[in-house]
A and B are shown apart, each in its own frame.
Chain A
Amino acid sequence: MLKLVAKSPAEGLVPIAVGAMELNEVVPAAITSIACYHGQSAALSAALKEHHGMALPKTGQATGRAGARAIWAGPSVFLVGPEPDADLSNHAAIVDQSDSWCVLNLKGADVEAVLARLSSVDMRLKSMKKGQVVRSQLQHMNAIYHRVSDDSFDIYAFRSMAKTMVHDIDRAMRYIASRA
């Protein structure tokens, strides 16, 4: 019998290490968009807490921990990691986004400088704390930035743009490294 083979969005494009920086692909088990129905945010937050252990994140925030997070993603919240519990659909529109996003982790001492080449938003480490989320651009594409540690960010962009995404980040890393 024929069998379908899965391919990750950045397969063959990363890992990349340049100077003080590394770029790696993150492949969450699932990414699920959760868009709250009118008047359901308290109930949704309670359901999230009950089934997945984290509250509904506020604007620009993430809740949970590595492997099971909820991150603010603009019009909706993304549950990153666990398969969503069916109960969530009583309070929100649930849409599978697992294959929509290329998620890359950008890590290293020059992370601030690299981000300053990608987006017009102030993502200096003093301005953007761990657990904060920003929706902005990555050069000319839309992207979500989530600061996950002292020196690393998870960056989400559309799967079809993975090649350009890697190219743009790689170039920024090389520009920075060349000045060292």
Chain B
Amino acid sequence: MRIPCPICGERDRREFYYQGDALALNRPDPDAGDGAWNDYIHNRDNPAGVTCDLWHHEAGCSNWLVVTRNTVTHEVLGAELASKVKGEQE
């Protein structure tokens, strides 16, 4: 598996640390309530198809990436800097 790091270019999976669903970017407010926090900390979809998750280019530029990939075909559809994705949300 190869991940197209926006900084370093396409790299082998071995250089990355896998974290999990990219919804980790959407941290609720402290008073958002139990439901929101439960969803943020514990609940994850398990899609057969396209999913977005976080990978850390630990052996490269140290950037967290939002990687879009297909869990059925294993196709990696793209990767963006998490800081950019987060910045655009604001």
Contacts and interface: CB of A to CB of B under 8 A. Distances in A.
A136 B5 CA distance: 12
Interface string A97-123: 000000000000000000000001100
Nearest to B12: A120
Interface residues of A, number: 11
A75 interface: yes
Interface in B1-46: 7-9, 11-12, 14-15
Contacts of B12: 120-121
A59 interface: yes
Contact of B11 (A75, A121, A142): A121
Contacts of A75: 61-62
B14 A135 contact: no
A74 interface: yes
A93 B12 CA distance: 31
Nearest to A120: B12
Nearest to A73: B61
A81 to B, nearest CB: 23
B49 interface: no
B14 A137 contact: yes
Interface string A67-89: 00000001100000000000000
Nearest to A60: B8
B60 interface: yes
Contacts of B61: 59, 74-75, 135
A46 B61 CA distance: 24
Given A59-B7, A60-B8, A137 B15 contact: yes
Given A59-B7, A60-B8, A136 B15 contact: yes
A74 B15 CA distance: 14
B85 to A, nearest CB: 18
B48 interface: no
A136 B7 contact: no
A75 B8 CA distance: 12
B7 A120 contact: no
A120 B62 contact: no
Interface of B: 7-9, 11-12, 14-15, 58-62
Shortest beta-carbon contacts, A-B, top 10: A120-B12, A74-B61, A137-B59, A135-B60, A75-B62, A142-B59, A74-B62, A59-B7, A136-B59, A135-B61
